[in-house]
Amino acid sequence: MQVLRPFVALFRRQWLMMLVGLLLTSTTLLTGIGLLSLSGWFLSASAVAGLAVVTAQTFNYFTPAGGVRFFSIARTASRYGERLATHEATFKLLTQLRVWAWKKLLPLSAANLQGLRRGDLLNRLVADIDTLDHLYLRLLTPMAASLMMIGVLLAFLGWFDNHLALSLCTLLLAAWFILPLVFYYLGKAPGQVLMQAQRQYRVELLDVIQGQAELSLFGANKRYLAQLEQAQHSLFSQQTTMANITGLSQALLILINGSAVVSMLYLAGQSVGDLSPPGPLMALMVFATMASLEMMMPIAGAFQHLSSTVLAARRVTEITEQTPSVVFNPDSHLQAHHGALQISGVHFGYHAHSPVLQGLGLTIKAGEKVAILGPTGCGKSSLLGLITRDWAAQQGSITLDGQPISDYSDANLRAAMTVVSQRIYLFSGTLRDNLALALPYLHGEAQKEHDQRFIEVLQQVGLQTLLQGDKPLDCWIGEGGRQLSGGEQRRIGVARALLRDAPLLLLDEPTEGLDKRTEREILNVLLDFAQHKTLLMISHRLTALEQMDSVYLFQQGRLIQQLAD
């Protein structure tokens, strides 16, 4: 249970809306008890009054009838308000939880998330956080409201008969304590297995969707779909188990309530307070007991879901409570203006037993153009990952403009460099939205002020075909740029680089997938753009090497200078 404390602490920020939801929930239950109790008494009292002409003429039908109408209208209004308030509070809590989780996630580097599959990470950040709303909506609110109503019921029935009130409320209080524990342990193991089944199903589903092209190409669709179907059957099986436990809990609560009604019928039939026979007050007692079912019904189900909530909290905490493996200096005001790089004695490996870089050293002066050649998988991209601080070296130092890169703040380090990576990610949005990423703090209408610049860089990278129509920058490019070819996506990545005025330009296979002629054109554009900047390019192709100041060959985790001019 300790794992839930940080999340409960976060809920305090929404205490007002949560309190409103609790009060409206309690009001709904109170008016429901009042409506049924008063209706039972009114029907019985009317029947008794009708037995004699005198009592029939003197009996006040209007006040109880008005009370029934009041309770019915108040119950409807409070139920509507309860739904609004509790759902509003839930949505705000989920928003707060997501913002909190992302703030915890953003400082983490690739090393922290190493080994996590995308589907699993997505499941933790979406489904597991959604599960945490059970704390408020299905646990805290119904438990607190039902406990309050037991107290109210004790005071209300005690006004007529203390013995009957104590008998009923003792039974309800015992159910309030015992049933949640029973169904917590009954639902603990199935709830955890259900969470695991949901996670596995989402991971399998995401793999099938994202890998559909490759699965179709290699004829592996049937095998992966069979695995997905197996995960689905496992999920359905666990959902059935949890549904059976839910049904058992509801049946037991109905049995307890029915037993309480029979007991109250017997006890109240003897006497209520000083009245013997009790008359209409017996009906009031019995109907109040029947109405208590509504306030007790959510209790067992609330704790049945507690195990899955605890597991979800634990899985989210495993990510959010990590210490970032790469730490920046948030208070630093250092800024790089020249882009000079000095790499000295760097040792790095993703695993201790498999080093990638071994004592690597490299000096790039301000304004110098350097290329590093090497086969795929030799560690060239790892070097860029160290420079951009996605990873941290085990040994050695890297300086930018003579200052250790660890002394820069995250924002200032990013502002000092422009990166064109192997994988260009395009967001589901317009062409303008995807280009505006290169310009910091640019949103909404402010983006349109740079439309002419956007068009110019698109023309520079040869994307004139996208500049058709009256509003070409409003073209929707789809999730991941799926409406564009691979070459067009890469050119947009290059266009982003042309929009940034940073002193250091890092190119990681910038023309991968382009034909020779297009490759030379794009490299010429980039080299012209980097005329007064420091440039480091890694590649396994020989294009445009004659325009470099130095060319290095990557071999056995070290750099060997091959050409200099």
- Cβ contact 45:127 at 8 Å: no
Residue 329 is assigned to a structural domain of this protein: no
Q: Are 423 and 314 in the same domain?
A: no
| pLDDT exceeds 80 at position 218 | yes
Residue 204 predicted with pLDDT over 80? yes
Query: Do 8 and 53 sit in the same domain of this protein?
Result: yes
Give 184's pLDDT tier (boundaries 50, 70, 90).
confident
How far is it, in rounded angstroms, from Cα 281 to Cα 37?
A: 9
Question: Same domain for 316 and 352?
Answer: no
Last residue of a domain, one of 320, 349, 374: 320
Q: Is 400 helix (H, G, I), strand (E, B) or coil?
A: strand
Average pLDDT over residues 149-165: 90
Q: Kindly tell me if the per-residue pLDDT of 23 is higher than 60.
A: yes
Same domain, 215 and 264: yes
Whether 325 is covered by a domain: the verdict is: no
Q: Do residues 269 and 368 share a domain?
A: no
> Is the per-residue pLDDT at 70 higher than 90?
yes
What value does the CA radius of gyration of the chain take, rounded to a whole number of Å? Answer: 35
- Compute the average pLDDT of residues 255-283: 84
142 and 91 within one domain: yes
Q: Between β-strands 369-373 and 550-555, what pairing exists: parallel, antiparallel or unpaired?
A: parallel
Residues 359, 558 contacting (CB under 8 angstroms): yes
Q: Are residues 98 and 214 in the same domain?
A: yes
Residue 183 placed within a domain: yes
**Residue whose pair of structure tokens reads 């753009």 in the numeric block:** 529
Full strand arrangement of the beta sheet holding 403-404: 357-364, 341-348, 395-400, 403-404
Q: Which among 268, 286, 320 is the end of a domain? A: 320
Using one digit for the tens of pLDDT, what is the confidence trace for 445-497?
555 667 888 888 888 888 888 888 778 888 888 777 777 887 888 888 889 99
Domain-located, residue 404: yes
With 70 as the cut, is the pLDDT of residue 565 above it? Answer: no
Average pLDDT (194-217) is: 85
- Do residue 28 and residue 112 come from a single domain? yes
- Looking at 20-29, 107-116, 216-225, which range is the least confident one? 107-116
Average pLDDT over residues 72-100: 90
Contacts 24+ apart (CB under 8 A), 276-282: 279/44, 279/45, 279/48, 280/41, 280/44, 280/45, 280/48, 281/41, 281/160, 282/44
Dihedral, 148, 153, 156, 158 alpha carbons, nearest 10 = -120
Q: How many structural domains comprise the chain? A: 2
Helix (H) or strand (E) holding 406: none
Residue 328: inside a domain: no
Most confident of 104-113, 202-211, 473-482, 526-535: 526-535
Please indicate, yes or no, if residue 73 is contained in any of the structural domains: yes
Q: Are 268 and 282 in contact (CB under 8 A)?
A: yes
Range from 290-299, 305-314, 363-372 that averages highest in pLDDT:
363-372
Is residue 455 within 8 Å of 473, Cβ to Cβ?
Answer: yes
Tell me: do 311 and 406 sit in the same domain: no
> At 56, which CATH number?
1.20.1560.10
Mean pLDDT of the chain: 85
**446 vs 431: which has the higher pLDDT:** 431
pLDDT at 232: 93
Q: Is the pLDDT of residue 2 over 60?
A: yes
Tell me, yes or no, whether 298 and 414 share the same domain.
no
Q: From CA 383, how far away is CA 126, in angstroms rounded?
A: 33
Q: Is 5 a residue whose pLDDT tops 90?
A: no
Q: Is residue 241 part of a domain?
A: yes
- Decide which of 286, 320, 354 is a domain's last residue: 320
Q: In this structure, are 252 and 384 located in the same domain?
A: no
Q: Which domain holds residue 183?
A: 2-320
Within 10 angstroms of residue 162's Cβ, the number of other Cβ atoms is: 12
Q: What is the DSSP string of 52-99?
A: SHHHHHH---HHHHHHHHHHHHHHHHHHHHHHHHHHHHHHHHHHHHHH
Task: Looking at the structure, tell me whether residues 305 and 364 fall in a common domain.
Answer: no
User: Residue 528 sits in a domain of what CATH number?
Assistant: 3.40.50.300
332 belongs to a structural domain = no
